[in-house]
Amino acid sequence: MSPGKTILYLQKSLLKRERQPVLRGVELFDALLIRDLMAAGHRVTLPLVCCWEPLLRERLPTGCRLQIISCFGGSALNGLLAALFAGRHDALIIGNVGNGLVPAIKLLFATRRVGRAALIANREAAPRFVAALRRYAVRILAVNNQIAAPFRTAGYPLVDTDYGIPNAEEFFPAAEAKPADAPVDFCVVGQLDNAWKGADTAIAAFQKLPDAVRARCRLHLASFVNPPTITTPGIQIYPWLPAAAIPTFLRRMDVMLVPSRDEHVMRETFSQVIVQGMLTGLPIIASDRPVLMEKLDTGGGLIFQTLEQLVQGLEKLAGDAALRRRLGAEARRIALERYVWNTDRFIRKYLFPDE
């Protein structure tokens, strides 16, 4: 494949105004993918509303063209504006599903500004979205099989389940083991302002530990845009941590908790955080969400359904360092085998398969 292709990258979250924008998992993945695309010699244009510009400029290579849009509304109107001024590109990457992007995608194809497209589907798509993109033979990469299913049913030419961590090399175990008498550090990581991340469940379980066990443990909740006040001894609340701080933070931990729950819709569709913890060699205690259980199907951690089971898991891992090491080693093996993102493969299979 000849270098120097031009790529338009449409991400719906970057086309909506946020009062307190933070780079979450999907946007961080976008930034890392753009970095890799440009390292491969391609030129990328990223439309975004102005509130996102400072955060993205510090994450993206200097050669990335940011198409700044004054915020006139939601992703539908801003997406149309981006499409109108996009110019001609060799390929379109659609960073997530969203009905608001449909008018922009239709305009881009109708005016031949793009000739091919790939969708990275991080959420369940509405029937309207699935139907609208079918005529353009968009290649689909979904983060799990449930998200992929409607596209397969609709007869899309290529629908795969394939996802991972683009910067996996940054996540590795601590070089030295902690002293035997050091506190056992449990952590919950993510944008914990979102109730479905389950920080309240972790707090409740920690508070229910026997006093003697809780006295030698700590629970780290990282992190919050708007940190709450928690007075329970042993619980530490973190204001928002930048992505660059997460690898070092995880290497100070002993166990990762992923107590996510669904709220009428599938909230946890992949969980980059659990993979980051696995790559760091942390044993995992996760809720019984399908996308979490599949990552621990050969070991690497414990699954809980009830609060009592979570308390038992905390107590079990708090008292058994050898078990923590064994589960953590298996978690890292699984993550390295299954969940390391390969941008070169994405380019060859989804963007420019015929070149």
- Give me the count of residues in the chain: 355
95's CB contacts (< 8 A; 6+ apart) are 9, 10, 11, 12, 13, 14, 26, 30, 120, 122
The mean pLDDT value of the chain amounts to: 93
Asked if 177 and 185 touch (Cβ cutoff 8 Å), the reply is no
Name the residue among 206, 204, 245, 254 with its Cα closest to residue 222: 245
pLDDT in tens, 224-249: 999 999 999 999 999 999 999 999 99
What is the pLDDT, as a whole number, of residue 1?
A: 47
Q: Is it true that the peptide bond before 271 is cis, omega within 30 degrees of 0? A: no
Asked if 278 and 295 touch (Cβ cutoff 8 Å), the reply is yes
Distance CA 235, CA 241 (A): 17
Going from the first residue of the chain to its last (355 residues), give the mean pLDDT of each consecutive group of 10, the final group possibly shorter: 82 84 85 94 93 88 87 82 92 94 95 95 94 94 94 96 94 94 97 94 98 97 95 95 95 98 80 97 96 94 98 98 97 97 94 86
Distance CA 291, CA 272 (A): 11
| CA distance readout (Å), 275 to 141, 160, 246, 268, 338 | 18, 19, 12, 13, 10
Amino acid at 98: G
Distance CA 5, CA 170 (A): 28
Judged by phi (left if over 0) then psi (alpha if -120 to 50, else beta), residue 41 lies in: left
Distance CA 209, CA 213 (A): 6
Domains in the chain: boundaries: 6-164+341-351, 169-338
Full-model pTM: 0.90
The alpha helices in the chain, defined as continuous H runs, are 25-39, 53-57, 75-84, 102-110, 127-134, 145-153, 199-208, 211-214, 246-251, 272-279, 290-293, 307-318, 321-338, 343-346
Name the superfamily (CATH) of residues 6-164+341-351: Glycogen Phosphorylase B; (3.40.50.2000)
Output the six-digit token pair for 278. Answer: 């696995």
Asked if 34 and 56 touch (Cβ cutoff 8 Å), the reply is no
What is the pLDDT, as a whole number, of residue 71?
A: 66
pLDDT in tens, 140-183: 999 999 999 999 999 999 999 989 999 999 999 999 989 989 99
Looking at the domain 169-338, which fold is it? Answer: Rossmann fold (3.40.50)
